Amino acid sequence: MGSYRLEVHESTREASTDEHGATLSTGDLARRTGTTLRTVRFYEEAGLLEPTHVAKGGRRLYTEADLERLTLITDLRELALSLEEIKELLRIREGCASAPELAEKFGVALHRQLARTQQRLSALLRLQGEFSAALAALKPCRSCNAPLAQHACGTCGVVAQSGTPRIMKVVVGAADSIPRGATSGRCAHE
């Protein structure tokens, strides 16, 4: 019985490989990139990805190169590039008559994206520091016994301090989050 299973497995694997080396299904791509089937299809519909081979039954098959392309697309989307910007970047070779022309166009695009990435990284690092500081600033709030319905966090000494992270001031001490009828009294921990 064990050899029968092996034979079925081997024949199934052979049936899912085409002459172009396309062995990955849409599901394989989704799993290996941490996306969904719908995302893979979405990028196909957007013209960013196309299967290397479509079998008679309509099954789409992809290569490792297609997987690498999808991984790049998802990384670029993480940097908030639009579909059009990604398409432009992936098609940068089109219309170039020489290697120097391609190098120039690609270099300009890479410089632009590098600057954009550095800006985004700076913002992410700033937020990381702010989140860490807010977690530390929350410590006294954990022992505050004042019910929120009767307490105005915006007047709390913790939130009112000059070094309090912006996210604390906006989320915890927001004027529009203070319930009607709340007192402007101090927290129990002050």
Residue 80's SS3 state is coil
Separation in Å, CA 142 to CA 119, 132, 157: 35, 16, 14
CA pair distance 188, 156, nearest whole angstrom: 10
Angle at 129 between CA 134 and CA 126, to 5 degrees: 125
Residue-range domains of the chain with CATH: 2-82 (1.10.1660.10), 129-176 (no CATH)
**Element holding 32 (H helix, E strand):** helix 26-33
**pLDDT tens, the chain, 190 aa long:** 443 333 333 333 333 455 668 899 999 999 999 999 999 999 999 999 999 999 888 899 999 999 999 999 999 999 889 999 999 999 999 989 999 999 999 999 999 999 999 999 999 999 999 999 999 888 888 887 777 665 556 567 777 777 888 888 888 775 444 455 544 445 545 4
